[in-house]
Structure 1
Amino acid sequence: MNLVTGGTGLVGAHLLLHLLQNGEKVRALFRSENSIQKTRNLFNQLNKSDLFYQIEWSPGNVNDIPSLELAFENIDYVYHCAALISFDGVEEENLRKINIEGTANMVNCSLAFGVKKFCYVSSIAALGDLKEKETVITEETEWNPEKPHSDYALSKFGAEMEIWRAEQEGLHCIIVNPGVILGIGFWDSGSGEIFTKVKKGIPFYTKGSTGFVFVEDVVMVMHQLMKSDISGERFTLISENIIFKELIFWIAEGIKIKKPTMLAKPWMTSIAWRLDWFFSTVFFQKRRFSRATAKSLHTSDIYSNEKIKKSLNFEFQPIQEVVKKVSFAFSKK
C-alpha cells in the first residue's frame, strides 16, 4: 500500500492517477471534503473517473500525529508531496510548521511503522548556490547559508535535513527537486495560475529563466525511483531551462491570446512588489507579487538534469510540447 500526502494538489493528484494506472493501491491524506473535489475534477477532466473511486482517503494532516498514525497502518511506501508554497513573508511560521515539522512527523511515523521507502518532493529552490566561475546548478552544488534565500527555500532545505536524518536512522529515502511544474488541472494555484493570468491578458514579459518540467514526467520518475534500489540520493527534475518570455509566448499561442508586447525591466517589477506590499498591508490582502518573485523573474539560473537521465535512462518531454498539451486542456476545461 502506498501513502500519498498532497493528493489534492497538482503533483499528488497526478501521482495518485499514475500509481492507480500501474496497478498500485493508494491511500491519500486529505484535510477537508472540499479539497478532494479538486482531485475528482482532474480525474474527470482526464476521463479517469472510474479510477478516482479506487483511492482510499484518510482524513488528517502532516501536523496531526494521531491522524498520521491511522493513515500509516499497513503502509509500505510513502510519497510526501504535501507542502505550503508561499513567498509572502507573513507565512514564515506556517512554512516552517508545515514544510519542516510536517516532514519530520512524516519520517518519524515512517520509521515507527516500518515503511520500506520514502520519497520526498522538494524543489530546485533547495539546491545550492553557485560559486564564482560556476555556471550550472547540480545536486552537488553547495548551499551557502550566508546568501539570501526565500523563506520557502529555507523551509524546503530544512525539510531535506529531516529526510537525511531519517536516512541515517535506517529509512530508505529519495528526494526529487522539481523545477516549475506544468500540468493539467489546478488552474487557480501554482503554475496553473500562469495559464489563467495569460488568458486574462499579461502586458509584460521578462527575460529571466528557470527550469521547467511536466508533472507526468515528475510522477513517472518518482515511481521508478521508488521501485529501484536507489536510496540516499536527490535528483533535479527539469526538462529544460526556459526563458520566461518564451514560456509566456508559447502559452499565448496555445490558448490563442495576444502575446505581451512590453519588456518588464527590474525597476518596474521593483516598484510592483512594493506597491503590492503597500496594498496588502493597508487592506489586509494576501500578497500577490512578492520581492522574491520579482527577483526570480530577472534571474537566469541554469539547472542540470544529467543525474536523473543517466540513473534511469529517462528522457523528459520538451516543454514547448508540454505547453501545447496543457494549453489544449486549459481551453477545454
Structure 2
Amino acid sequence: MDRLDYEYLAGILDKARAGDGNAFAEIYTATYQAQYHMIFLDTRDARLSLDILLKIYITAVQDIDTLQSSKQLLPWLDEIRWKLCEEHCDHYTRSSSGSLKQESNRLSSEGWLDSFTANQVLTHVMSVCGIEANDVPVDVLESWKNYLKPGIYQARYAICVFLVLLIFMPLFFIRPSVRIDWYGRDISGNAEYTIHIGSILPLRSISARLNGVDVPLDKMKFRTYSFMVPENGELMISAESFNGQVRTRSCELMPYDTEPPVLIAEDRRGDKVYLTIRETYSGIDYDKISGLTPLNYDEESGVVVVMAPEVETEIVIPDRVGNELRISVLP
C-alpha cells in the first residue's frame, strides 16, 4: 500500500472540517480502496461491502471534527469500519488497513472497487450529508495522487546524500518536482488551481499550457503559483531549474461538467418505462425532469420510471449544471 503524505493531508483535513467537498473527496480517494478491500475480505459480498463503505464515509463526514491529526486518519476509519462490520457481519475478525498488503495476496482480482462506482458512492455520501459535491471526480484525483508521498522525494534525498559524499559534484542532474492542486472557484465560478515546485536549486523558468494555449501564472508565494482554468482540457506544466534540468507534467483537468447524462438502457414493463441513466460528474437533477413526470427514481442506480405515454413524447433529463439528455418515449 502506497504511503500517504500526511503533511499534505493535514491541510486537506482542515478544509474538510470546514465543509469543503473537494477536500473530503481527496480524503475519500486516498482511503476508500483499502477500506472497501478489508470489508470485502470479511463479507465476500460486494453489495453489502458497498453499503458498509457508504455508511463509513457518511459517519466520517458527520464525525470529522473528532479527527485531531491526519496521521490518525487510517486508524480512525478502521475504528468506524470495525463497528459497522460488527453490526452487519455474522462472522467478523478485526483487521487493520495496515495489513492490506498481506491480505491482498489471498485475493488477487476480487475485492477492488472501480473508480466509477467509487465516485457514485462519494456523490451519494455528499448528498446525504448535505455538503457541496466535489468538482474533480475520483478517477482524476487518483491519477494526480497528490495525497501520496511522491517517490521522487525519496530518490532525491538519497541522491543528495550521495552528492555530499562526492563534494556536490552531480548537482547538475537534479530535476524539480511539480505538484498540481485544486484551489477552488472565484466569485464568477471559474476554476482555480495551484502549482507547487519543489527544488533545492533556484528555478529558471516555469510555464503552463492548456490545450496548447499558454496559461498566465500568478505567483502566490515562494515556488507556488496559481492559474485560472477557463475550460476542460489537457494541462502541460514545465519547470526548469537553474542547472538546466526540466520536469514536465501533464494531466487532464475536468473542472467543468460539459457532458449531458447518458441513456444506458430502456426497458418497458407493461405500461411503465424504465430508463437507466448515467451521470458521472454533477449528478442528475431529478426534480427538473420534464416532458414526463417520473413515477419514482433510484439515485443509486440511476433508474427513472415513467408511465408509457399515449403518443410519442420527449422526456428531458438534466444534470445539476444544466446539461440535458433528451429521449423520445414511444407509446
* Structure whose alpha-carbon radius of gyration is higher: 2
TM-score (norm 1): 0.23
TM-score (norm 2): 0.23
Looking at secondary structure, tell me which structure has more strand per residue.
2
Looking at secondary structure, tell me which structure has more helix per residue.
1
Q: Which has the higher contact order (CA 8 A, sep 6+)?
A: 1
